[in-house]
Amino acid sequence: MDMEKETMIKKIEKLKQEKDVVILAHNYQLPEIQDIADYVGDSLGLSQKARNCKEKIILFCGVHFMAETASILCPDKKVLIPDLDAGCSLSDSLTLAQLKEWKKRYPEAVVVTYVNTSAEVKAESDYCVTSSNAVKIVNSIDKDKMVLFGPDMFLGSYVSRVTGRKNLRLWAGECHVHAAVKPEDIEKARREHPDAKFLIHPECGCVTSCLIDAYDKGEKDSIILSTEGMIKEVEKSKEKEYVVATEKGILHRLSKISPQSQFHLVSEELECKYMKMITLDKVLHSLENEVFEVKVQKEIRERAIIPIQRMVEMS
């Protein structure tokens, strides 16, 4: 490691102690960010950690909606994000105005939104879900009720197939990184790595065909997984070879868990520019100056916490 990085890490560790800070990082963060974090995980795990942490300040190394969720769950803590521009294309694909309009067309429907949404959109939702609990939560809703599910259409189509629900309406949103993974990319990877185990995130554009394929092969429980689901699967199976269809940042943790395994990313393009905006120098700047604070207006927070709490309690 170069001297400059080493010096920054030392300063970060010192400030963290002095200011009583917990650093939470998503599985897609840069390796050096994951290494300085107190906890690395998926959207659900990070929300649970935020809710239970004792420290005064939460430094969130992830994207804006994740820091917002932490702030909704812990209104008395200072939640910081090192770069306010770390957004999410999926979250941007369903605005408050669009959701209100959609709800007007289906006034009786139950609204289920992915955690990748703004606080305003959560405030208009009945349930919040992540990729690791979407099936369970949708299954818990009265079978006769219409469900509006958004914004990710690929996760939505996966949930619809697994639950067999016909009364699920999908919003046509997507994550620009995962939507690019097409069925032909998976077919090519299957030909190139015939013995590898496949780990596919439900936001991927190939998810429907991959699910059908997985059912045929009898591997439906181990193939389509949230980021933390992938971590657990590798901890358990420790295969020789895996093909991974999600953002490349996860390879750092996977390789640490099973250094003897080979991990092939289904495409080198799988990189989220927003996640990569969080760098060591920005983390240091954030700690030194206690910026940039993410705070949600009381009126929105009081409504947004309801679907988030339902999710955390049911997981």
- Residues near ligand SF4, by CB under 6 A: 63, 88-90, 116, 175, 177-178, 247, 272, 274-275
Q: Name the β-bridge partners of 25.
A: 40, 61
Residue 247 CB, nearest distance to ligand SF4 (Å)?
Answer: 5
Three-state DSSP state, 129: strand
Residue 47 interface partner, choices ligand 13P, ligand SF4, none, CB cut-off 5-8 Å depending on type = none
Residues 146 and 254: their CA atoms lie apart, in Å, by 38
- Closer Cβ to ligand 13P, 92 or 290, answer by number: 92
Query: Which residue shows structure tokens 């669009």?
Result: 98
Q: Tell me how far, at minimum, the Cβ of 186 lies from ligand SF4, in Å.
A: 18
Q: Which of 95, 203, 218 is nearest to 156 (CA)?
A: 203
Q: Which does residue 174 bind out of ligand 13P, ligand SF4, none, counting CB within 5 to 8 angstroms by kind?
A: none
> Is 47 near ligand 13P (CB under 6 A)?
no
Q: 93, 117, 131, 286: which one contacts ligand 13P (CB under 6 A)?
A: 131
Q: What is the DSSP string of 215-247?
A: HHHT-HHHHB--HHHHHHHHHHH--SEEEEES-
Q: How far is the CB of 52 from ligand 13P (least distance, A)?
A: 18
Does the footprint of ligand 13P cover residue 29 (CB under 6 A)? no
Considering beta carbons, is residue 8 or 226 the nearer one to ligand 13P? Answer: 226
Q: Which is nearer to ligand SF4, 21 or 175 (CB)?
A: 175
CB 116 within 8 A of CB 311: no
**Residue 274 interaction partner, one of ligand SF4, ligand 13P, none, beta carbon < 5-8 Å per kind:** ligand SF4
Question: How many of the other CB atoms lie within 10 Å of CB of 235?
Answer: 11
Q: Between 90 and 243, name the residue whose CB sits nearer to ligand 13P.
A: 90
Please answer whether residues 258 and 63 qualify as being in contact, where contact means their C-beta atoms are separated by less than 8 angstroms.
no
Closest to ligand SF4 by CB, 109 or 230: 230
Q: Judged by CB, which is closer to ligand 13P: 42, or 233? A: 42
Q: Using the rule CB under 6 A, is 89 a contact of ligand 13P?
A: no
Contact 21, 28 (CB under 8 A): no
Is position 69 an interface residue for ligand 13P (rule: CB under 6 A)? no
Q: Measured between alpha carbons, how far is 185 from 158 in angstroms, rounded to an integer?
A: 18
Scanning the chain, the segments in alpha helix (DSSP H) are 3-19, 31-36, 43-52, 64-73, 89-92, 96-105, 119-123, 134-139, 153-163, 183-192, 207-217, 220-223, 227-237, 250-257, 280-289, 298-314
- Binds 93, which of ligand 13P, ligand SF4, none (CB < 5 to 8 A, cut-off by type)? none
At 257, the amino acid letter reads I
Q: Which does 89 bind (CB under 5 to 8 A by kind): ligand SF4, ligand 13P, none?
A: ligand SF4
Quick one: which of 29, 116, 118, 286 contacts ligand 13P (CB under 6 A)?
116
Neighbours of 19 (CB within 10 A): 15
Indicate which of ligand 13P, ligand SF4, none lies near residue 68 (CB less than 5 to 8 Å, by partner kind): none
Closer to ligand SF4 at the Cβ: 89 or 125? 89
Q: Which partner in ligand SF4, ligand 13P, none is near 42 (CB below 5 to 8 A by kind)? A: ligand 13P
Give the single-character DSSP code of 109: P
Helix or strand (DSSP H, E) at 128: strand 127-129
Task: By CB under 6 A, name the binding residues for ligand 13P.
Answer: 27, 42-43, 116, 130-131, 175, 203, 226-227
